[in-house]
Every structure is written in C-alpha cells, then in structure tokens.
Structure 1
Amino acid sequence: MIDTKKIVTFGEVLLRLSPPENRKLMQSKSLDFFFGGTEMNVGASLSFLGESVKHITAVSNDIVGDAAIYNMRQYGLDVSAVQKVNHPIGQYLLEVGSGMRSSQIAYNRLNGSFANIQKTDWDTIFANADFFHWTGITPAISEAAYQELKVALISAKAKGIQITTDPAYRSNLWQYGRNGQEVLKELVSLSTIFIGGVNEINEILGTSFTLDKEGFIEASKHLMTACPNITQIFDKIRTGLSASWQKIYGRAWVDDIYFETSELEITQVVDRIGTGDAYAAGLIYGLRHYDTERALAFANAACALKHTILGDVNLVSVAEITEVMQGNTGGRIKR
C-alpha cells in the first residue's frame, strides 16, 4: 500500500434528505439524512479503502456544519483545512425510486456555504500529495469555487500531481454568468486523467462522436489532441433496465490501447446515489496499486457494489471488491 502520499479532493458537501422505505415525500412523516457530495464521496470511499485523503470544502458555521465535519472525520478524512462560513450548507431531497418509478432529486444549494468558499493555501495542502480529484460540479457552483479550483489545478500541475477529473456538466447549475463548456475545457486541459465518456467529450468540445466502441476511441483521441495533458481516459457504461436493475461495464483508452471489462449486473439496487463516485474512487485506488486493466476492473466492481450500499459513500473493502472482480457475485453468507 502507498502510505507516504495522500490524495486531495475538493468539492461541496451537501445534506441529503430522503423519505424512508422508498416512499414519496407526500407519504412520509420523517426523513433520513446523510452527508455527501460527489468529491467527498470519492474521498471517503478511498479512505475506507485505506488511503490517506484530505478533503477541502466549506461548511456552514453552525450545528449542521459541525455535524458534516464530524461525519467526514468518521470516514477517516483529514478535515483540517475545511472552512466554516456564515452561509447555510447545501441540501438536496431525494425520493428513491423503485422498479419503473425513477428517483427524483430537488436541490437547495444556491448561495450556500461552498459557493462562498474563501482563498485556500493550495501549496501547503498539496505537500506530500500525489493525486488531486475534482468534478465539473465544483466550478458550476459559483465564481469563488471556480477561481479556487483553477488556482488548485495550476498548483497541482506545477507539482507534477496526477489530476483526475469527472467533468460532469450540469447545465442547470451554471447560474453565475460563465459558460460551462468553456470553463470545463479550460480546467480539463489542466488535468491528466479523464473519467468520462463520449457524452462528456461531446458536451465539452461541441463534437458529435457516436457512443459505440469506435466512437469512444475517436472521441478519446480528439480529447487528447484538444487537451494534451490528458493521458488516460476511463468510461463507465450503464444499461438501466429499471430503477432497481442495472448493468455496468468499464472501458478505457490508454497508451493507444482499448480496454474493456466484463459486464456486471445488479438486480436489486439499494441506492444509486454515489455509484459514479465509487467508480472514480475505485479507479484512483486501482491506478495507485495496479496496472491499467486491473485498475479498470477494480473500478467497475467498486461501482457495482455501491448499488448495494445505502447512503452516498461506498463502504466496502478492498477484499470485497476483489471478490467481485474474481467473479464471486452470488452474495453467499460469510460465517
């Protein structure tokens, strides 16, 4: 295990509220809550896998912010650089779907604590770090979040840190005046590992590549030409038969070689939130410990297992993921 270097993650922490037992909000008299957020989910999953992770964010200066910090500490995250600001923590309400009924989400994060993040000493934060992870959600939140991320990426790049990005484009988040596609292309250009596929490349570059294998390869080549710092591209393909029944496999384009995993089937989904984050965490862990092919398989297995875990974070071990990689998907009781 690599225990002399740390991973840094940067992004918003949200309070997730959900009616229990797959109920709709109108049916429920109570709400379960979890703390999550895509970058924190990645960091917490990596911490659970045994990695040293420092998460950078801003939370509310109240009991909710205190609870968020306590929750992150429980996951083993280093929260020494988390800011507390006088704005409420972002929230979202999730109605968990089942079968043919889709899950639904409503956000309440405008002008929240993370949108008002203050300047950060990134050179100090990146001391002894070898990976930095960000997503396209972060620069969409506010001008302050965008500027901090840009400074972080410049600092990480100068230090030779591997920079992983899941450049998720959410058009409804970009409300403060900047063009999302332009910003994402700029920030992806400062990164080294792209966790996304044809849809993300088309959105960022304004292209129209097809979703099949050949389209993925051509899109990957085009992205590497447009953003020469990108050296590895990893994608996750999902087939949703219903809200409760999913199939996934991973594919990659690295060193002019195409990689693809076998497909994993999840027939009883417990929680889809955070499955992409589990994939990213599994990939980062895999890239630090394995070759490309095994890292991709590890990411896909981690993603599949997250579908069986309630909450935002993938609370599974390296051993559990390895078992699924080896084809042990029967779920037999262990005594």
Structure 2
Amino acid sequence: MKIAAFGEIMLRLTVPEHQLLTQNNMLQSSYTGTGVNILSSLHQLGAESYMISQLPANRLGQAALAGLWQKGLHTDFIGLQGDHLGSFFVELGFGARPTYVTYQNRRASSFGQAEAAAYDFTTALTRVDAVHICGISLSLTPATRTAALMLARQAQTLGKRVYFDFNFRPSLNEKRGHDEIRQAYRQILPLCDFVFGSRRDLTALLDYPAEATNEDLYQRFVADYDLSGFAGVQRGKDHGQGTITGFWADATEVRYSNQYPVQVLDRIGTGDAYAAGIIFGREQGWEAERTLAIAIINDVLAHSTYDDTPAASLADIEQVLQHPEQDLIR
C-alpha cells in the first residue's frame, strides 16, 4: 500500500510542561502538518508514505527533511525553494485553560508561494495507489488552491483514489467572501472519492440545511458528490467526561463506532489519526466495522500522545481493542 499526501509542512514550537509563552523562554520543535501527520500514522500502521510539498532551500528545510525521515516518510516529491517555513506556537491547555495556537508565516512559506508548475504530480501519482489532499490548500493562497485542484484532476484521470479533508480554517479566510470559499470546495469535491469533515462543514460552508438530521445530511452530501464515503468524529460528554465517536456514511447507511472516553494530553492532530485509520482500512479492503474500530482507537490514543503526529502502531491499537478496561504496562 502506497499513499501520498499534498499539504504544508510546518514547524511546531511548543512551550514545555503545559506552561505559557510568558512563563518559559524555551521551546520544543517538531515538523508537522495534516499530510505529515496522516502519512506518519499510515507508516506506523504499515503503509508506504510519500509527502508532496515544498520546503525552504536552506538549513531549516534540511532539518525539516530530516524530521520527516525520522517519521518514516519518503521525501522524493518535496521541492526546495524560497526562504520561509510556516510555523506555529503551542501553549498546551490544562483543566479549564484551553490550548492556544498562534500561527505565523503560513502564506509566505515555500509551500504557500509555490506555483503548481513546481510539482511533478504525474510522476508522484504513478508511484502510489491513492492521494490525500488537505483542504487548507484551498484557503492558503491562490497558488496552493490551483495546485490542489490540478493534483485532484490528474489523480482522477489516472484512476487514483482521492481522499480529501475539509480542514476549513476561518482565520485563513477572513478576507474572502462566503461564496468564493464555497466555490473552491465545490470545485474539488467532484474530483474526490472519500471526504473527511464534520456537520459544521456541510451546513456552514456548503449551506446544507441546518435542521437536517446527521444521517440525512451525511447521505445527501455523499449522493450529491457521488462519493464512496464521508467520515469524521462526533464529540460529546458523558457525566462530565469527554467522549468521542467515529462515523462513516456511504450511499446506503451511516455507521458509528463505539463511543470512547478521551483524556487529553495533546488534542492537536487527533483527527489526522482517525483519517489515517479510515484510509488504511479502506486501502486494505477491511470491512467497515473493523476500519471504524481501528480508526477511533487510533484517535483516542492520539489524544494521549504528545505532539501532532500520531505514534500508535497497529499492535498498540489491537491491544486496546482486546483489553479496553485494563491498565496494562507493556
């Protein structure tokens, strides 16, 4: 199984020990991004992972490449140009205090400024079975939007499965009108095979009726864009405990995983763990129930893992599924 992902690579700078930026002058660095996280998790599960992106042509770009190699990613299709790498600062929350994320340099990054012509999408697609495209590329810059649409069209032409994640970020669209944003998503969705997102993406972004039930909403979306499926997670509370449930809708039904309690060490990137589990199961040809079970446990374990990038192996996930109530030391 060989999977590629198109998206930005970012430098994450985290204040250690759940402190605030004003409390500590030291930061811990790592290289992340939706595509990086999904591919790294897929590598842990057993897939061969290829990143398609751009990095700065300097020592920071070289350090990022080394970080991706450590995560098991192939970097054959990452170009080197420009000077900047998008970055974000993380102040991890605790108790009533939320996690704060502060972004900088995203639009000026090498990825943000790279034109579609900088990529050899055809060669990359002939190397893999499927590709994941992050929706942030539709919002970042006109160049990243054009490149994402070109990749999706070429993938469809070559018969490669296209996985797409809404990943809509209001902060990247403050100067764009609703119609312009919606049109960008409507352009790429007909080129996709499977989509990750939420109820809010459908009602607030694509203007589906807010009064519809989840089941009617998800299945209407699948039918409108002739998708193989639409998946995501639903968060809730049970006696004050945060919970999470995975869903997967296709043309015939909406399936749900078991509901699990979650304890949050670091929530960033947990949705990427779920997406990786779904992609892996589908590409393996597993039944929907097993795929959902693997994906939601991968998500639950990601909540308990520091940093964006999911780190659970298939054996780790199976262990939790087999012994959900046991406090094991392995």
TM-score normalised to structure 1 length: 0.91
- Determine the structure 2 residue equivalent to 1:124: 123
With 179-188 and 8-17 compared, the bigger mean Cα shift is at 179-188
The structure carrying a bigger helix percent of its residues is 2
Shift of 1:332: 1.1
- Post-superposition Cα deviations, 1:6-40, rounded to whole Å, max 9, x if no partner, equal 10101001111111100011001211111101111
SS at match of 1:80: strand
1:326 aligns with 2:325: no
Q: Which residue number in structure 2 is paired with residue 165 of structure 1?
A: 164
- Retained in 2: the 8 A contact 1:169–1:180? no
Residues 178-198 of structure 1, C-alpha deviation per residue, up to 9 Å, x if partnerless? Answer: 822210121122101111231
1:329 and 1:53 map into 2 onto residues whose CA distance is 33
Alpha-carbon contact 1:209-1:218 (below 8 Å) kept: no
- Residue pair 1:12, 1:114 contacting (<8 A) in 2 also: yes
Which structure 2 residues correspond to residues 42-57 of structure 1 after superposition, within 5 A?
42-57=38-53
4+ residue segments displaced more than 6 Å? none
Runs of 5+ unmatched residues, structure 1: none
Aligned match of 1:225 = 223
Superposed counterparts of 1:39-118, under 5 Å = 39-108=35-104, 109-118=106-115
1:270 partner amino acid: L
CA distance in 2, matches of 1:162, 1:87: 33
Distance 1:241 1:59 in 2: 43
Match of 2:236 in 1: 239
Indicate the residue corresponding to 2:269 in structure 1: 274
Between the aligned partners of 1:296 and 1:73, the Cα distance in structure 2 is: 29
Which residue does 1:284 correspond to in 2?
279
Match status 1:315 vs 2:311: yes
Contact 2:107 2:113 in 1 (8 A): no
CA contact (8 A) 1:166 1:196 kept: yes
Change (3 A) 1:66 1:43: same
Segments of 5+ residues of structure 2 without an aligned counterpart are none
User: Residue in 1 aligned with 2:173?
Assistant: 174
Question: Which amino acid is 1:277 matched to?
Answer: D
The TM-score with structure 2 as length reference comes to 0.93
Residue 21 of structure 1 corresponds to 17
Query: What is the one-letter code of the residue matched to 1:239?
Result: G
Residue equivalent to 2:133: 134
CA RMSD of aligned residues (A): 2.0
2:193 corresponds to which residue? 192
Query: In structure 2, what residue type is equivalent to 1:54?
Result: Y
Give, in angstroms, the shift of residue 176 of structure 1: 7.5
Post-superposition CA distance 1:152-195 (Å, at most 9, x none): 00011112212111112112213675822210121122101111
Match of 1:202 in 2: 203
**Paired residue type of 2:156:** K
Matched residue of 1:21: which SS? helix
Do 2:247 and 2:292's aligned partners in 1 also have CA atoms closer than 8 Å?
Answer: yes
The one-character-per-residue Cα deviations of 1:49-81 (angstroms, maximum 9, x if unpaired) are 221111011111111111111110111111011
Residues 94, 128 of structure 1: CA spacing in aligned structure 2 closer, same or farther, 3 A cutoff?
same
Deviations 1:235-254 (A, max 9, x none): 20112689x96311111212
Deviations 1:191-242 (Å, cap 9, x if unpaired)?
01111231111133212335xxx712111232133312x1211120112689
* Number of equivalent positions: 324
SS, match of residue 189 in structure 1: helix
2:96 counterpart SS class = coil
Partner of 1:37: 33
CA displacement 1:281-318 (0-9 Å, x = unmatched): 11111112211121111110100000111111111110
CA distance 1:240–1:138, change in 2 (3 Å): farther
Match of 2:294 in 1: 298
For residues 111-138 of structure 1, the C-alpha deviation after alignment (integer angstroms, 9 at most, x for no partner) is 1111112421211111142211112111
| Aligned counterparts of 1:303 and 1:292: Cα–Cα separation in 2 | 16
Mapped to 2, the partners of 1:69 and 1:246 lie a distance apart of 36
Percent identity of the aligned residues? 26
Of residues 10-19 and 120-129 in structure 1, the stretch that sits farther from structure 2 once superposed is 120-129
Question: In the alignment, is the contact (CA less than 8 A) between 1:85 and 1:116 conserved in 2?
Answer: no
Residue 258 of structure 1: aligned partner: 254
